[in-house]
Structure 1
Amino acid sequence: MHAYQSMANCFTYFTENTAHIELPQKFTYPFYYEPHPLCVLAANQLQHHLLTQTDWQHDFGLDHYVEGTNIGKMFGVLVVQKQNGELGFLSAFSGKLADTNHLPGFVPPIYDLLKKDGFFRKEEDRISCINQQIEALENETDFLIWKQKCIRDKSQCEKELKAYRQLMKTAKNERKQRRNTALHKMGQSDFDLLAEKLKQESLKQQFDYKVLRKHWNEKLNHNQKKLDGFNEKIKVLKEERKVRSAALQQKLFDQYQFLNKKGETIGVGEIFARTTQKVPPAGAGDCAAPKLLQFAFTNQLKPLALAEFWWGQSPRSEIRRHKNFYPSCRGKCEPILGHMLAGITMDENPIKSPTAKDDDLKIIFEDEYIAVINKPAGFLSVPGKATEDSVYLRMQKKFPHATGPLLVHRLDMSTSGLILMAKDKDIHKNLQQQFLERTVQKRYVALLDGIIARDEGFIDLPLRVDLQDRPRQLVCYQHGKAAKTKFKVIGHIEGKTKIHFFPITGRTHQLRVHAAHPQGLGTPIVGDDLYGNKNTRLFLHAEYLAFRHPVSDKAIKVMANPDF
């Protein structure tokens, strides 16, 4: 550990008086929380340090756009208590910062990948050397010549053999025609002589074709042997690289050993072996939260509260707002923190068991075939991991004789509004087909956390799930699915924008991302805990549905006003 990352240099005292702030009774549930007042003070103090420190340089893109990646950064603060009762906090950043893993005042990494004399850098250099050898072989003049010769000669071979087969086919047809014509004009003796002659012509062509094919086979085999000489060397190097990389990865996993309150240590490989992922994702253990807890446990500090915030420019694909607090990522951190926080009493997950009163779940329209339900905000459409209570379960109980999947579509838990239900599978199939054909008209109303410049328009930003932080979505032009939304502003209220959304596609979090992303409206929906700021609820409501009745074929239009 560097000298400046000792206990004395990493433990930071509060500059403001904290006597009036009650200590938290339970530790922060890291995946959904309101930051404790002490964490807010610690974050403000760290942010002031980031603005005023001169020990290192990093352009966070605070007042101008910066090209590249790794511009903005996630920081974490952990409020801790010494054994003598002194209160303070620890600070950390995710990944590396200013091209290093060690900076004054920040806790160290679990393992320093950038350590010059460490095994990782040494082995990485060896693997890099192998990569250079492979690249040199793949770009060697003789290798490229033989590679091109193989491609060219194979093409020429196929061309010539194909042409000769066509010639043989044409000749065969001509011989057949000559034989048929001669059959009626020649005597038997002359006809037999002609038949023998035609047979010999056929045999000669077959022989010539075999000779041609043999010629090309010998030539192509010769070329391939020359090429295989290079390919074998490349194969040996690639196999060595594969073995070294696997061994390095395993050795690296062995370095990431995580402590908990009980003093138990488990490696990252064993932690993720218990998950569906099986293998740790890249960067597992390098986020701020595990670093903070590891330092606290190593130095007998009592963790009291945790918070993480984004500082600087948002990545292009993500939605990260400067100074906003964010939960720990689930893909990398959830399995690790599950071990590290064992034995610590935590706040309850506030969204673990979302529920609703029966009279909150109103049926707006119903006949013997279908029903339209007005779902309240904060209630699941379908059963989740932590609870089965949902619109689906309630409707299953209300309509016990209904068959099929019931719900034709769904809404995010945080979104309120209309959900269409079918009472049997054939009706469900008809309605779902209408959704697939995009003939169903949908309108959402939302309140945006700011004033937007345009009165109406169209947003086209493809989306995919953030594999390391589900259910967050990313804008991704390479792997994302098409996501398209029309919008129209309907008013302004105290610095906020009331807006209608008309989704053309129905991707997860589509309206939330299209509202918040800089390439969309750049203004999150009020109460968006993933892409904006928490509030009493997410101010997004599915207020209007229009579709064809699956039996009568009449136009059905259903409306439910929002409560905001």
Structure 2
Amino acid sequence: MTNPKYFHFFKNNIKDISAPEKFTYPFYYDPHPLSIMATKEVQAYLMMQTDFNHHFENTGKMFGVLVVQTKNNEIGFLASVSGKLADTNTHKYFVPPVFDMLPKKGYYKTEEHKLNILTQKIETLEKAEIYNRLKRSLTKTIEKAEGEKNSFRLKMIEAKKERKERRKQIRREFEGNRLQENLKTLDQESIIFKLKKRDLYKQWDRKIVQDQKELSTYEDEITKLQMLRKEKSSSLQRYLFQQYQFLNKKKEAKNLLSIFEETSLQVPPAAAGECAAPKLLQYAFQNQLTPICMAEFWWGKSPNSEIRKHKIFYPACQGKCKPILNHMLKGMLLDTDPLLKNPAIGKELEYLYEDQYMVVVNKPSEFLSVPGKTIDDSVYLRIKQKYPKATGPLIVHRLDMSTSGIMILALDIDTYKKLQRQFIKRQVKKRYLAILDGIVERNNGTIELPLRLDVEDRPRQLVCYEHGKKAKTIWKVIDRTENKTKIHLYPITGRTHQLRVHASHPEGLNTPIIGDDLYGSKGRRLLLHAEHITLHHPETKEEISFSAKAYF
């Protein structure tokens, strides 16, 4: 039997490497030795290949490897790239997409061309001189109308005031018939003003309607084309979603529409199905290859918003890939999701301070601050168990599960509000200790990179200058040894993952914290510790400080 076109034999001997008993849990994993070996071969290919031209120093890409077994029990691997590469989906080395939308004579490209023609027609109409002249004319007419109307209204107000004074004077000077005649004259003046106002408004309203009528000839055509484009775009998008048919081990096929209608999104996000992992599994199932293990890695320059490091392994994304892979991996024996295990088992909180108002603890790493979706054990639960009569939210601020260090907790609602007010007003001074995976050349500085949630890959954060919230960190290097930098971080704001992103992002320190499985490389633990905090006691107002030594 001839092996499939994109099946690659290992160049190195793998006889001494045992295959895993379960397939990789793709959303959180340590790469299996076979996946690591396959990755090294793909990376060697990327460094030496002449099959395509792509400037990875400008735009990095995510790649994937899938170790597979043939029907003849031969072990090899498949490779793929997320999205298109060098403006094409067809490559000598990488498996094809689940659906190729790029052929010029294909339905998608043909319909896309029609959409582009519609867009060009709309843009031509919108840029037409006569259309823009009519828009300017209407704007000027409306402005002039409002100006004259306002001017006349002010004139009427002044005239009304004047008539009011004249009425007072007439009532003082006249009586009887002469009084009534003079008052009648004033009433007639008021009527004349109202008639003039009516005529003025009618005159301008007719002019505006006329200008609008001339303009609507063009606007109606533009609106009609826009609606047609929207209808055709929606139809083409739906067609596209239906073409992406994903298989699983049992050869059950599901398209993107049916997969995502069961999620909170309901509609597939952009580029769903184009990631490396679905491509690899699809090709394996289509060609009777048994998946053994897999991994994905980044190659090249990091994007501007999300953090991706050259040669670093990454899990499959939560937003676009998880719904698809949940279907594709159905019926396969997977590694256990480590996030379902309670990481706090056998760990205890260190109590640094306790009184009737507040508690200060030193939280171990891999210990939740608050209950999670599947795990209740947390700082909150431990404090609630120790202080069953405590009221209020308790948690004044949080630390990431992987971050160790000082946490402040309130034992009643009034104390909670007082402490929270200090955090909101940024009156609390915090210092973190971190060890970075590399050398930071400068000695100190300030990082200001706005952050927001990556809604397609929670809980990751993105740097976003348009929608991100202000985030500021002051830093100072303590020591440099063995290609590592020990550093103090002073967060001025308290955004989610702020220190981790500011350390790792190219516009920050460009050096991830050791053990950062989201923005760097997975390790024994995240070497980030909240070691010092200063605030005012909620009751006595006295300034108090607490320190906790880092165990790394």
**TM-score, normalized by the shorter chain, greater than 0.5:** yes
Q: How does 1:371-520 map to 2 (within 5 A)?
A: 371-520=359-508
Superposition TM-score, scaled by structure 2 size: 0.98
1:3 equivalent in structure 2: none
Give the root-mean-square deviation of aligned CA atoms: 1.3
93-102 or 185-194, larger mean C-alpha shift: 185-194
Cα contact 1:374–1:419 (8 A) shared by 2: yes
Superposition TM-score, scaled by structure 1 size: 0.96
Q: Secondary structure at the match of 1:8?
A: coil
Q: Secondary structure at the match of 2:474?
A: strand
> Which amino acid in structure 2 is aligned with residue 207 of structure 1?
L
1:192 equivalent in structure 2: 180
Q: Secondary structure at the match of 1:145?
A: helix
1:29 equivalent in structure 2: 25
14-23 or 241-250, larger mean C-alpha shift: 241-250
Percentage of pairs with the same residue: 52
Change in CA separation of 1:357 and 1:364 when aligned onto 2, cut-off 3 Å:
farther
**Partner Cα distance (2:258, 2:304) in 1:** 34
Q: How does 1:1-16 map to 2 (within 5 A)?
A: 8-16=4-12
**Partner Cα distance (2:361, 2:87) in 1:** 54
> Which amino acid in structure 2 is aligned with residue 24 of structure 1?
P
**Partner Cα distance (2:347, 2:264) in 1:** 39
Shift of 1:8: 3.2
* CA offset digits 1:194-233 (Å, max 9, x no partner): 2122111111111011000000111111111111221211
2:52 equivalent in structure 1: 56
Shift of 1:116: 1.4
Cα contact 1:354–1:380 (8 A) shared by 2: no
**Partner Cα distance (1:561, 1:97) in 2:** 48
**Partner Cα distance (2:444, 2:224) in 1:** 60
- Alignment partner of 2:259 out of 250, 271, 276: 271
Q: How does 1:302-317 map to 2 (within 5 A)?
A: 302-317=290-305
247-256 or 382-391, larger mean C-alpha shift: 382-391
1:290 equivalent in structure 2: 278
**Moved segments of 4+, more than 6 Å:** none
Shift of 1:519: 1.0
Shift of 1:425: 1.2
Shift of 1:354: 3.1
**Partner Cα distance (1:145, 1:492) in 2:** 66
Cα contact 1:296–1:303 (8 A) shared by 2: yes
1:249 equivalent in structure 2: 237
**Partner Cα distance (2:515, 2:141) in 1:** 66
2:349 equivalent in structure 1: 361
**Partner Cα distance (1:175, 1:94) in 2:** 80
Shift of 1:179: 1.8
Cα contact 2:126–2:132 (8 A) shared by 1: yes
Q: Secondary structure at the match of 1:323?
A: coil
> Which amino acid in structure 2 is aligned with residue 512 of structure 1?
R
**Partner Cα distance (1:146, 1:456) in 2:** 58
Change in CA separation of 1:94 and 1:359 when aligned onto 2, cut-off 3 Å:
closer
> Which amino acid in structure 2 is aligned with residue 45 of structure 1?
E
**Partner Cα distance (2:50, 2:479) in 1:** 46
1:259 equivalent in structure 2: 247
Is 1:528 the equivalent of 2:516?
yes
**Partner Cα distance (1:229, 1:359) in 2:** 74
Q: Secondary structure at the match of 1:252?
A: helix
> Which amino acid in structure 2 is aligned with residue 326 of structure 1?
Y
Cα contact 2:4–2:287 (8 A) shared by 1: no
**Partner Cα distance (2:130, 2:547) in 1:** 73
**Partner Cα distance (1:357, 1:46) in 2:** 39
Cα contact 1:293–1:340 (8 A) shared by 2: yes
Is 1:216 the equivalent of 2:212?
no
Cα contact 2:347–2:364 (8 A) shared by 1: no
Shift of 1:493: 3.1
Q: Secondary structure at the match of 2:438?
A: coil
Shift of 1:536: 0.7
**Partner Cα distance (2:374, 2:65) in 1:** 28
Change in CA separation of 1:10 and 1:357 when aligned onto 2, cut-off 3 Å:
closer
Is 1:17 the equivalent of 2:13?
yes
2:160 equivalent in structure 1: 172
- Alignment partner of 2:112 out of 111, 114, 124: 124
**Partner Cα distance (2:299, 2:39) in 1:** 11
Q: Secondary structure at the match of 2:283?
A: helix
> Which amino acid in structure 1 is aligned with residue 79 of structure 2?
S
278-287 or 376-385, larger mean C-alpha shift: 376-385
2:99 equivalent in structure 1: 111
Shift of 1:98: 0.6
Cα contact 2:391–2:412 (8 A) shared by 1: yes
Change in CA separation of 1:292 and 1:134 when aligned onto 2, cut-off 3 Å:
same
The total of aligned residue pairs comes to 551
* CA offset digits 1:217-266 (Å, max 9, x no partner): 11111111111221211121111112111111111111111111111111
Q: Secondary structure at the match of 1:542?
A: strand
Shift of 1:143: 1.5
1:325 equivalent in structure 2: 313
**Partner Cα distance (2:322, 2:18) in 1:** 28
**Partner Cα distance (1:187, 1:533) in 2:** 99
Q: How does 1:39-118 map to 2 (within 5 A)?
A: 39-61=35-57, 66=58, 71-118=59-106
Cα contact 1:355–1:390 (8 A) shared by 2: no
* CA offset digits 1:306-349 (Å, max 9, x no partner): 01111111111122111111111111101111111111111112
1:542 equivalent in structure 2: 530
* CA offset digits 1:399-429 (Å, max 9, x no partner): 1111111110111111011111111111111
> Which amino acid in structure 1 is aligned with residue 189 of structure 2?
E
**Partner Cα distance (1:242, 1:266) in 2:** 26
366-375 or 549-558, larger mean C-alpha shift: 549-558
Cα contact 2:246–2:254 (8 A) shared by 1: yes
550-559 or 202-211, larger mean C-alpha shift: 550-559
* CA offset digits 1:459-513 (Å, max 9, x no partner): 1111111222111111111111100001111222333111111100011110011
Q: Secondary structure at the match of 2:533?
A: strand
Shift of 1:359: 5.2
**Partner Cα distance (2:119, 2:499) in 1:** 44
Shift of 1:48: 1.1
Shift of 1:515: 0.7
**Partner Cα distance (1:363, 1:442) in 2:** 18
Shift of 1:9: 2.3
> Which amino acid in structure 1 is aligned with residue 370 of structure 2?
V
**Partner Cα distance (2:181, 2:222) in 1:** 61
Is 1:347 the equivalent of 2:335?
yes
* CA offset digits 1:64-109 (Å, max 9, x no partner): xx3xxxx110000000000110010000000000100111021110
Is 1:143 the equivalent of 2:131?
yes
> Which amino acid in structure 2 is aligned with residue 23 of structure 1?
A
Shift of 1:356: 1.9
Cα contact 1:407–1:420 (8 A) shared by 2: yes
Is 1:561 the equivalent of 2:549?
yes
**Partner Cα distance (1:529, 1:351) in 2:** 13
In structure 1, runs of 5+ residues without a counterpart are: 1-5
